[in-house]
Structure 1
Amino acid sequence: MMGRFLWWGLLAAVFVVASFAQLDRSSRFAPHLARFVPPAFSGFAAEQRTRQAIAAQQGERAIAEAEALVTARPLPAENLELLAIAAALSERNEQSIAAIEAASTRGWRAPIIQQAVAQAAIEQGNHDIAAQRISALLSIGEMREAALVLAGQLVATPDGQVALARRFAAPGHWQDNALRSLAGTVPPDKYSTTLVLAAKQGATLDCRIVERVIQNYVLENEDSAAARLREICPA
């Protein structure tokens, strides 16, 4: 008899665990379910509750949920990103910076982390790191406006121009779109100088795009910049 009770008790426990685990997975696509998942079973649910707390500007709740999330699922950079945002919301700057630094070592696809690292690198004069993170943002296509602003800050100095030129010369598929976008953001002299440096390092630049930029520069009386670009793409 006792063995039977233990057996049924074990089955009941397995059922409860499986039910909450399934509910947790479901909350990933149905955020309203997150509040029904107990903390001990929260993985995806903790992520949803963290996002909800951040959206509601509830700093302490966001911190608690984010810390529980990172405890349950410590590897994804996105979870550390949420912890960094929650900590910043509560003005826990040291914790926020530590989370950003940890997240930056775990992947390239967390755009807020990439933006934060790029901005810090520019301020510290780490031009190559800034160029890597900016090109990553442009590559994944997220936070494009922020990436373009950062690119403008980077190429404000000769060392920054060299660093970004190296990224243009590296393998990738983001460069063509960046040629168009940067032309409308970066000052003509900085833009043209950066592209000339990129070409000297072996970058293959789409002259159809460059030609349109040259035409715009001529109309805007940016003759020096247009002449530099003619070095890359002669008429």
Structure 2
Amino acid sequence: MIGRLVWFAGLAAIALLTAVLQLDLMAARAPGVVPIVPSPLRNESQVAITRAALAGTDSARALAEAERLVQRRPIPARNLVLLSVSQAKAGKAEDAAKTIQIAAQRGWREPLAQEAMLRIALAAGDEAEAARRYAALFLRDGTPEPLLSELGTAVLAKPGGLGQSTMVAIVVGGERWHAAFLGRGPRVMPPAAFSAITADSLARGAAFDCAALGQSVRVLKRRDPAAAASLRTAAERRCPRLPR
């Protein structure tokens, strides 16, 4: 009798463990299940927790969660990239650079790598490199706009800075940039920066579509009427019928 009870208890424990592990796997698609996964069994759940912490403003918490993730699963490059991003966000540029180099030896997911390298470049004062990494994230459809807004303020807000001038060179240098730049830029870039970058791009020969530019002015006006008016003035020669 006791043997049967032990047998059934063992089966129940295995079933429970299997169910919890399945919930952990689901965390990548359904973050809502994370709280019901016991802490010692969190693998994918810990990834979700780390990503959520990185999306917030508490850099110390993000770093702690990323370190916990790598302690549990040190092999996947994805986890090392998350650690690198959190280190860079916490101001630990040297640590972040070392971590991303280790991740590079194993391969990494490009968007996370770009964000990590952007934050490292910012911490090192390399505005031009930060702008190039920002451009790579900007062109990726799946990059969240709140992240682009946060990084855009850090990379592009300095008037006449290397961040803005590098972005102008990128925009002028490739027509494939134009539709994305005019469509997304006024939503995620600092308004004054978007206005200045667009005006400088026009001055350097960027052949923007006037209808798309007009829509950009409308969006920009809702955020910053002065920036929109400045852009409209700069664009009048090419597109005289922009909205007022």
Q: TM-score, normalised by structure 2?
A: 0.58
> How well do the aligned residues superpose, as a CA RMSD in angstroms?
5.0
Correspondences of 1:106-185 after superposition (within 5 Å): 106-108=109-111, 113=116, 115-116=118-119, 119=122, 123=126, 125-126=128-129, 128-136=132-140, 140-149=144-153, 150-153=155-158, 156-157=161-162, 158-166=165-173, 169-170=176-177, 173=180, 175-179=182-186, 182=189, 184-185=191-192
Q: Deviation of residue 192 (structure 1)?
A: 0.7
Unaligned runs of 5+ in 2: 1-6
Moved more, 185-194 or 47-56: 47-56
Partner-residue secondary structure (3-state), 2:215: helix
Q: Displacement of 1:121 after TM fit? A: 8.8
Counterpart in the other structure of 2:98: 98
Residue 233 of structure 1 deviates from its aligned partner by 1.0
Letter in 1 for 2:214: R
Which residues of structure 1 form unaligned runs of 5+? 1-6
* CA-CA distance at 1:29 after TM superposition: 2.5
In the other structure, the counterpart of 1:204 is 209
CA distance in 2, matches of 1:182, 1:49: 27
Q: Match for 1:156: what amino acid?
A: G
CA distances 1:17-58 after superposition (whole Å, capped 9, x unpaired):
524422423664333223x253xx541233356579986946
Contact 1:87–1:96 under 8 Å retained in 2? yes
| Secondary structure in structure 2 of the residue aligned to 1:30 | helix
**Percent of aligned positions that are identical:** 15
Q: Which amino acid aligns with 2:149?
A: E
Mark the CA change 1:50 to 1:211 in structure 2 (over 3 Å): closer, same or farther: closer
Q: Alpha carbons of 1:23 and 1:58: their partners in 2 closer, same or farther (altered >3 Å)?
A: same
Shift of 1:156: 2.9
Q: Which residue of 2 aligns with 1:65?
A: 68
What count of residue pairs does the alignment treat as equivalent?
217
Structure 2 residue 193 is matched with structure 1 residue 186: yes
What letter matches 1:143 in structure 2?
Answer: L
Note if contact 1:164-1:194 (Cα within 8 Å) is conserved in structure 2: yes
CA contact (8 A) 1:85 1:96 kept: yes
Rounded Cα–Cα distance in structure 2 between residues aligned with 1:182 and 1:106? 24
Cα contact 2:34–2:45 (8 A) shared by 1? yes
Alignment-mate amino acid for residue 24 of structure 1: D
Hey, what's the Cα distance between the residues in 2 that align with 1:57 and 1:124? 24
The superposition leaves residues 39-84 of structure 1 with CA deviations (integer Å, 9 ceiling, x where unpaired) of xx54123335657998694689545412135436x154xx345423
CA distance 1:226–1:118, change in 2 (3 Å): farther
Contact 2:87 2:96 in 1 (8 A): yes
Instruction: Name the amino acid aligned to 1:33.
Output: I
SS of residue in 1 equivalent to 2:74 = helix
Provide the C-alpha distance between the structure 1 equivalents of 2:97 and 2:203, rounded to a whole number of angstroms: 36
2-structure distance, mates of 1:169, 1:209: 18
- The separation in 2 between residues aligned to 1:198 and 1:105, in whole angstroms, is 37
Whole-angstrom distance in 2 between the partners of 1:219 and 1:64: 44
Preserved contact between residue 210 and residue 229 of structure 1 (Cα < 8 Å): no
Aligned to 2:3: none
Aligned-residue offset at 1:166: 3.5
The one-letter code sitting in structure 2 at the alignment partner of 1:18 is: T
* Cα distance change on mapping 1:183 and 1:138 into 2, 3 Å: farther
1:33 and 1:13, CA in 2 relative to 1: closer, same or farther beyond 3 A? closer
Q: Is 1:232 aligned with 2:235?
A: no
